[in-house]
């Protein structure tokens, strides 16, 4: 840089700005990671499983919504083609605004993904003119009109609102604004369609399908119909009905509760302007069952959840939001926590990769394996010489761990087909002794030995009472699940063939089973003789020869019982289950289902717990001087009685306008959180509320 100048002066050379290092997700993962020596491998495994969960859930979401989305696309095309016909009835129908009432259920967090897929499909195959609006951005009619026009025309729309005009000026938008009216939208639509028509002047339209494509519908999606102001919605529909002959409008109502919401929000004079067709999506419980079947009850994912964590996630789903999306986020949170806090999670991968990683374990990680509860139980069962080898010889320990990892994967491979088989047999029994959903049976198997449960014993008794056709149908479905295991498949196949053949044989009639004691009842006899005859009949029934079908039925059910006892043992009974199973249900509950009061009080009492700033760290329970003002005010309010003198608080330190503003803000925040409230007893006092912990 040159310093020559005509006149003398002082030249300042500013140093080049130091580029701040941008932290990657890998850096955040390694920070504070337990067992940092293999954190890179664990992060890679965690990221691969995370991406696989995300990809599989997106594909699953598309498959589950494919039917209803295809129905909506067909409805949109049909309504668009109606405008091309000259039939009087169709013209009368075309004078109404086509409306699709899409009932999605109360799982509101999942709706965004559905509407996003719907918008993309509409723009790809039906019409490029799609606008989605939400109630929180459409508090008034002019705001609703503004959002619709902006998203359809992709431009700035002017409204008579000083606040919005000021906001637009500060945002520095350079687009030319247009007037907020449907007349403007009609002019824009005509211009756009004329441009598309004039794009190929030498070609003539030869079919009404092409004519339909020249006038694509204008679709407006109301994502959360219940949250809209009814008056705003009514006025918007009335205005749109005036332009239906110039603009091919179409509405899609996203409904979370019931279709009767439309009747409650819209009077007959408004709803009569709509041609409504109802569309019902899958229930959120069916969606959850499919997700659990594809993500949890499969051998493709080596990462597993124990019974307590699974119960927490299902409870949050059933009793809070019914959101499958939040359930998947909970699984991802457990996945991240497992790989971050468990150094041995490096073995939570496919069998071949896990066996390779075992041979690369350090001595420190081998010591961690020895401290696992399941491995301690395994050592206690071994001979003294084997115990010494496992505790002292690292090479021998690695070979044993390879075998144990192989056994754990074999357990998972057999567990899920047998679980599905048992659920198939018991889910149709009266009163559902083992649960109606497979997740209920899965939780039972994770907690304890299912065959020791009284409900399991009653289920097996009920299976022996089923009719031939019902039992064979259930066993045939179990035969499908047994194909996952070759050995089980061959045994089940042979038993099923014999059972079907025995069922085809005729069973002995009732008359053939009646023995000679029955004939004695036809004669006159005394009470003693009657009792003797009845006892003989009871013994004859017990000793009655079973039919071939009954024999094979008992053998088949006993065979299934043996499979259950062999393959459905709890995972805690298997060695090294800790490397695959995440068990910290308290961590998941704290992150996903935290209680507001406890969290607020913990944050105000100890801000270091959330902010993780060393300046805020204290040991004696006091609050640091560097803590936020509201934390100091909260600490003072805990030391006061029912009435708090604010003047005493303010006069403690020297007065300044800056400190006064901070003080007022801290007191206002305490009042907003519900710890204090103003009182009429004294003007300079506030009352302490019981919510604060009195």
Give the bridge partners for 278, in sequence order.
Answer: 101
Tell me if 100 sits within 8 A of 279, measured CB to CB.
yes
Closest CA relative to residue 161, chosen from 144, 136, 174, 185: 144
Write out the two tokens for 108: 């509101």
User: Mean pLDDT throughout 35-61?
Assistant: 89
Q: What confidence score (pLDDT) does residue 575 get? A: 95
Residue 339: name the closest of 17, 535, 595, 48 by CA: 48
Return the higher-pLDDT residue of 613 and 102. Answer: 102
Q: Is 560 exposed, middle or buried (0-12, 13-18, 19+ CB in 10 A)?
A: buried
SS (HEC) of 209-257: HHHHHHCCCEEEEECCHHHCCHHHHHHHHHHHHCCCCCCCEEEEEEECC
Q: What confidence score (pLDDT) does residue 315 get? A: 94
Supply the angle between the helices 324-341 and 39-82 in degrees, to the nearest 10.
170
Mean pLDDT (the chain) is 83
Count CB atoms within 10 A of the CB of residue 308. 17
> Is a pLDDT exceeding 80 seen at residue 11?
no
Angstrom distance (rounded) from CA 607 to CA 629: 11
For residue 435, the SS3 value is coil
Residues 6 or more apart whose Cβ sits within 8 Å of residue 494: none
pLDDT at 541: 63
C-alpha to C-alpha distance for 164 and 178, rounded to whole angstroms: 14
Alpha-carbon span 27 to 363, nearest angstrom: 25
Give every CB contact of residue 649 below 8 A, 6+ residues apart in sequence. 633, 636, 663
Residue-range domains of the chain with CATH: 25-60+283-449+569-589 (no CATH), 83-163+174-192+209-282 (3.40.50.300), 595-692 (1.10.10)
* Confidence category of residue 502, pLDDT binned at 50, 70, 90: low
Which residues, at least 6 apart from 247, have a Cβ–Cβ distance to it below 8 Å? 182, 185, 186, 189, 218, 240
DSSP 3-state of 503: helix
CA-to-CA separations, 48 to 41, 60, 456, 560, in angstroms, rounded: 11, 18, 38, 37
Whether 693 shows a pLDDT value over 70: the answer reads no
- Provide the pLDDT for residue 501: 57
Q: How far apart are CA 370 and CA 361, in angstroms?
A: 13
The pair of three-digit structure tokens given for residue 565, joined into one six-digit string? 């006892």
Residue 625 phi, psi dihedral angles, 5° rounding: -65, -20
**CA 138 vs CA 22, 227, 356: distances in Å:** 38, 10, 58
Within 444-601, strands assigned E span 581-582
Q: What is the pLDDT at residue 6?
A: 53
pLDDT category of residue 503 using cuts at 50, 70 and 90: low
CB atoms < 10 A from the CB of 118, how many? 24
User: Whose structure tokens read 């119909």?
Assistant: 225
Name the β-bridge partners of 255.
103
Say what the pLDDT of residue 519 is.
52
Q: For 289-345, how does the pLDDT look when each residue is reduced to its tens digit (9 = 90+)? A: 999 998 899 988 999 999 999 999 999 999 988 999 999 999 999 999 999 999 999
- Burial tier of 61 (Cβ tally within 10 Å: 0-12, 13-18, 19+): buried
CA angle 34, 398, 568 (to 5 degrees): 80
Closest alpha carbon to 107 in 325, 279, 261, 313:
325
Cα separation values, 280 from 133, 257, 442, Å: 21, 11, 29
* Residue pair 609/603 in contact by the 8 Å Cβ criterion: yes
Question: Residue 488: pLDDT band by 50, 70, 90 thresholds?
Answer: low
Q: How far lies 556's CA from each of 317, 413, 423, 491, 523, in Å? A: 38, 22, 16, 10, 43
371: its two tokens: 């401290």
DSSP state of 300: S
Query: How many other C-beta atoms lie within 10 A of the C-beta of residue 124?
Result: 10
Rama region for 166: left / alpha / beta (φ>0; ψ in -120 to 50; rest)? alpha
Side-chain half-sphere exposure of 432, counting CA atoms within 13 A: 9
**Which of 1-5, 308-312, 611-615 holds the top average pLDDT?**
308-312
The helices-and-strands tally (H runs, E runs) of the chain is 33, 12
- State residue 210's pLDDT score: 44
Query: Is the per-residue pLDDT at 510 higher than 90?
Result: no
Find tokens 């206690």 and name the residue: 380
Joined together, the tokens standing for residue 420 give 């599905």
Q: What is the mean pLDDT of residues 576-583?
A: 95
What pLDDT is attached to residue 524?
Answer: 60
**CA–CA gap between residue 286 and residue 267 (Å, rounded):** 34
Residue carrying the six token digits 């754990």: 408
Q: How far apart are CA 146 and CA 141, in angstroms?
A: 8
For the stretch 456-474, pLDDT in tens is: 999 999 998 888 888 888 8
Distance of alpha carbon 278 from alpha carbon 621, whole angstroms: 60
């Amino acid at each position: 840089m040159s310093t020559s100048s005509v006149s003398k002066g002082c030249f300042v050379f500013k140093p080049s700005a130091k580029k701040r290092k941008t932290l990657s997700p890998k850096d955040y993962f390694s920070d504070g990671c337990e067992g940092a020596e293999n954190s890179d491998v664990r992060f890679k495994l965690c990221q691969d499983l995370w991406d696989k969960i995300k990809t599989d859930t997106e594909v699953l979401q598309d498959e589950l919504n494919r039917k209803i989305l295809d129905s909506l696309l067909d409805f949109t095309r049909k309504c668009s083609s109606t405008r091309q016909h000259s039939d009087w009835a169709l013209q009368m129908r075309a004078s109404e605004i086509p409306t699709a009432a899409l009932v999605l259920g109360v799982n509101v967090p999942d709706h965004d993904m559905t509407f996003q897929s719907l918008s993309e499909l509409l723009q790809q195959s039906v019409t490029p003119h799609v606008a989605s609006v939400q109630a929180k951005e459409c508090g008034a009619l002019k705001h609703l009109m503004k959002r619709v026009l902006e998203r359809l025309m992709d431009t700035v729309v002017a409204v008579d609102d000083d606040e919005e005009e000021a906001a637009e000026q500060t945002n520095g938008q350079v687009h030319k604004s247009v007037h907020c009216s449907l007349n403007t939208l009609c002019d824009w639509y005509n211009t756009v369609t004329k441009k598309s028509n004039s794009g190929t002047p030498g070609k003539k339209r030869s079919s009404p399908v092409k004519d339909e494509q020249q006038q694509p519908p204008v679709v407006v999606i109301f994502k959360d119909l219940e949250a809209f102001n009814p008056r705003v919605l009514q006025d918007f529909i009335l205005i749109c009905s005036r332009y239906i002959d110039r603009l091919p409008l179409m509405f899609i109502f996203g409904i979370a509760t019931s279709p009767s919401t439309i009747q409650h929000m819209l009077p007959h004079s408004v709803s009569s302007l709509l041609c409504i067709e109802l569309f019902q999506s899958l229930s959120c419980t069916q969606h959850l069952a499919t997700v659990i079947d594809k993500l949890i009850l499969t051998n493709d994912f080596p990462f597993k959840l124990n019974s307590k964590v699974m119960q927490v996630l299902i409870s949050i789903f059933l009793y809070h939001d019914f959101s499958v999306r939040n359930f998947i986020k909970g699984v991802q949170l457990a996945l991240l926590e497992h790989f971050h806090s468990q150094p041995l999670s490096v073995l939570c991968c496919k069998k071949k990769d896990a066996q390779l990683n075992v041979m690369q374990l350090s001595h420190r990680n081998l010591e961690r394996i020895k401290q696992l509860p399941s491995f301690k139980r395994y050592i206690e069962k071994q001979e003294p010489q084997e115990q010494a080898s496992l505790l002292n010889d690292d090479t021998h320990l690695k070979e044993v761990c390879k075998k144990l990892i192989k056994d754990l994967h074999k357990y998972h491979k057999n567990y899920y087909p047998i679980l599905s088989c048992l659920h198939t047999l018991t889910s149709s029994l009266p009163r559902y002794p083992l649960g109606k959903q497979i997740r209920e049976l899965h939780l039972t198997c994770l907690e304890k030995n299912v065959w020791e449960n009284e409900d399991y014993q009653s289920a097996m008794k009920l299976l022996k009472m089923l009719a031939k056709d019902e039992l064979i149908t259930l066993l045939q479905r179990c035969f499908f699940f047994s194909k996952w295991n070759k050995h089980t498949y061959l045994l089940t196949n042979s038993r099923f063939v014999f059972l079907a053949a025995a069922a085809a044989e005729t069973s002995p009639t009732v008359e053939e089973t009646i023995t000679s004691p029955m004939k004695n009842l036809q004669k006159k006899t005394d009470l003693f003789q009657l009792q003797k005859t009845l006892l003989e009949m009871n013994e004859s029934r017990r000793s009655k020869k079973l039919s071939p079908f009954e024999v094979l039925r008992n053998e088949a059910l006993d065979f299934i019982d043996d499979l259950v006892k062999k393959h459905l043992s709890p995972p805690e009974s298997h060695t090294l289950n800790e490397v695959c199973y995440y068990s910290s249900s308290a961590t998941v509950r704290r992150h996903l289902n935290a209680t507001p009061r406890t969290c607020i009080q913990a944050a105000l009492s100890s801000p270091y717990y959330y902010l993780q700033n060393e300046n805020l760290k204290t040991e004696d329970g006091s609050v640091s001087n560097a803590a936020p003002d509201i934390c100091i005010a909260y600490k003072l309010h805990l030391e006061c009685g029912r009435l708090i003198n604010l003047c005493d608080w303010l006069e403690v330190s020297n007065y300044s306008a800056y400190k006064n503003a901070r003080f007022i803000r801290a007191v206002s925040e305490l009042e907003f959180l519900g710890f204090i409230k103003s009182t009429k007893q004294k003007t300079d006092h506030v009352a302490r509320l019981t919510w604060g912990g009195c």
